[in-house]
Structure 1
Amino acid sequence: MPDFLTPAQRSERMSKIRSRDTSPELALRKALHARGFRFRLDDRKLPGRPDIVLPKHKAVVFVHGCFWHRHPGCKVATTPKSNTAYWLEKFDRNVSRDATAASTLSAAGWRVLVAWECELDSGRKVQATADRLAAELLTETKP
């Protein structure tokens, strides 16, 4: 199916996709804050610009969109039927960049946690994900 938008219209539409303060991210931040966690946001000094940085726990949380970051086994992580080669290359770059950021942060002593968009699409799931992350954050790691 051909694109019904001009390149300028497509560019404008794609520019509206938010990289921070998304609904899943806001919901998770609210749930973590209610559990007593205090954090910083989008620390540009850290590799990958984690969405949530918890310095007290030496941990970071990435809130990944299932489509863009290729959540394994998720029904949202589909591949567009048109221009497939471009999209596969784009997704590979995203996943590679995520892995590089996670390994660099881990090597620097940070704990890297990931929350997926599909884990945050309802109030019940947000609470369950926040509980899971809280348990991981409160678990002591042995050096």
Structure 2
Amino acid sequence: MADIFSKEKRSAIMRRVSGKNTKPEIMVRQFLYKNGFRYRKNYKKIAGNPDLYILKYNIAIFIHGCFWHGHPGCKHAALPRSNNNYWTNKIQANIKRDSKNFQILAKNNISSITIWECEINTAAKREERLNRLIADIHLLNLQAPG
């Protein structure tokens, strides 16, 4: 299926895709704040510049878009049929970079949690996943060294 936009128009649309303050990030931030968690946004002092970093618990939280980070088995991660080589290389590079960053965080005793966009795209899924997020934070805190 051919793209309905010209190459220039599609390029302009893709340039406008933001990597910060996305709707999923804002939802997670509001939930955490409402539940008493304080965090840093887009924390540049550690690997991967996590979307959220909870200093108190030494936990990095990444809110990943399924398409951009190649969520395995997710229908939202399907690659476009046009320009397939470009997208395959781009997504694979993102996956490789994410993996490297998670390894660096682990070596520095920083726990990481990934929330996928599809896990919070409906009210029911969001409630379940965000409640599990709190449980994960508490569990990681109990397992933390020292």
TM-score category of the 2 structures, normalised to the smaller one: over 0.9
Structure having greater relative contact order (Cα 8 Å, sep ≥ 6): 1
For 1:142 and 1:16, locate their aligned partners in 2 and report how far apart those are by CA, in whole Å. Answer: 39
Question: How big is the shift at 1:85?
Answer: 1.2
Report the alpha carbon displacement of residue 82 of structure 1 after superposing the two structures with TM. 1.1
Counterpart position of 1:125: 125
Secondary structure of residue in 1 paired with 2:21: coil
By how many angstroms is 1:142 displaced?
4.8
Offset at 1:110?
0.4
The TM-score with structure 2 as length reference comes to: 0.91
Aligned partners of 1:2 and 1:75: how far apart in 2? 20
Aligned equivalents of 1:142, 1:120: Cα separation in 2: 27
What are structure 2's unaligned runs of at least 5 residues? none
Aligned to 2:44: 44
Q: CA deviation at 1:2?
A: 4.7
Matches within 5 A, 1:1-143: 1-3=1-3, 4-7=5-8, 9-139=9-139, 140-143=142-145
1:136, distance to aligned residue in structure 2 (A): 1.2
Q: CA deviation at 1:114?
A: 0.3
For residues 133 and 56 of structure 1, the distance between their equivalents in structure 2, rounded to whole angstroms, comes to 15
- Check conservation: 1:31, 1:127, Cα contact below 8 A: no
SS in 1 for 2:143: coil
Q: Give distance in 2, aligned partners of 1:131 and 1:6.
A: 42
How far the C-alpha of 1:64 sits from its partner, in A, is 0.3
Cα distance change, pair 112–28 in 1 and its aligned pair in 2 (3 A): same
How many pairs are equivalent?
142
SS where residue 67 of structure 1 aligns?
coil
Alpha-carbon distance in 2 for matches of 1:124, 1:29: 17
Cα offset for 1:6? 3.8
TM-score normalised by L of structure 1: 0.92
Task: Provide closer, same or farther for how the CA distance between residues 44 and 115 of structure 1 changes in structure 2, counting only shifts above 3 A.
Answer: same
RMSD, matched Cα? 1.4
How many percent identity over aligned positions?
37
CA distance in 1: counterparts of 2:16 and 2:61, whole angstroms: 23
CA contact (8 A) 1:31 1:126 kept: no
